Amino acid sequence: MKRVILLSVWLAAVASIAPARAQSGDVLRRWDGVSVDDHIARELQDRKGIVIVDAVLMGPKIGGGLTRCAFPEITLGQAHKDAPRKAVNGMAAPQSGKMVAFGGVTSLPPGEYLVLKIACANLNSNYNGPHAKFQVRAGEIVNVGTLHLDAYSDGLFSNTGKWHRSVEDLNPQVVAFLKTRAPRAMTKVVNRRMTMLGPAEAASRSTTRPCGLVEC
């Protein structure tokens, strides 16, 4: 009898956890077998907005030049310091027989948001902003585009240098991938690019360590 009661409690706990995970905002990952379109519909019913955001981070490498971050992590937040932050982790989007690096799709309550930071594990880099701002509206699916950051170092293992930033359209291959994952939702997307904050070129300071032979 005890075993039956414990099993019932465990099943109830699992049932309560599954919807919460589906509402986590990481709408491209099918935690509970629900389609991406259905995940997005749930988030919109909760009066949230869906944000499609990407970042291209090019960091310094040994020998000169730049190398691309494989999976950038984009930290989003709001202006007041106590506001919660949300990290959107990069993922690989299979398209046309190859993998395309991509930022992610997440859900947020309505309001104005900032791209606070872009980090990269394989480049051991962390570039603090704020870099750009964008608006999230309840019930809306918005594509805010891609933040492109080229980071140049003052020298080997230096954490100072300069960066060049720009805001670009989403990679067409990424758009094609999203249409395969969420065909209904992608028909409702509003394209409204993020607005870059500050000059395109500026001095930078980061925790960048230029990549070595193994990392690149």
CA 31/CA 174 separation, integer angstroms: 21
Q: What is the DSSP string of 15-81?
A: HHHHHHHHTSS-TTS-SSS--HHHHHHHHHHTT-EEEEEEEEEEEEBTTSSEEE-SS-EEEEE-SST
Q: Give the mean pLDDT per block of 10 residues along the chain (216 residues).
A: 40 32 48 82 93 92 83 90 85 66 87 94 86 97 96 74 94 89 95 96 66 44
pLDDT at 92: 72
Residue type, 210: P
Model pTM score = 0.79
pLDDT at 173: 87
pLDDT at 34: 81
pLDDT at 121: 81
CA 19/CA 146 separation, integer angstroms: 30
Nearest partner of 148 among 124, 115, 179, 181, judged by Cα:
115
Domain ranges of the chain: 2-205
pLDDT at 50: 95
Q: What is the CA radius of gyration of the chain?
A: 19
pLDDT at 112: 97
pLDDT at 130: 95
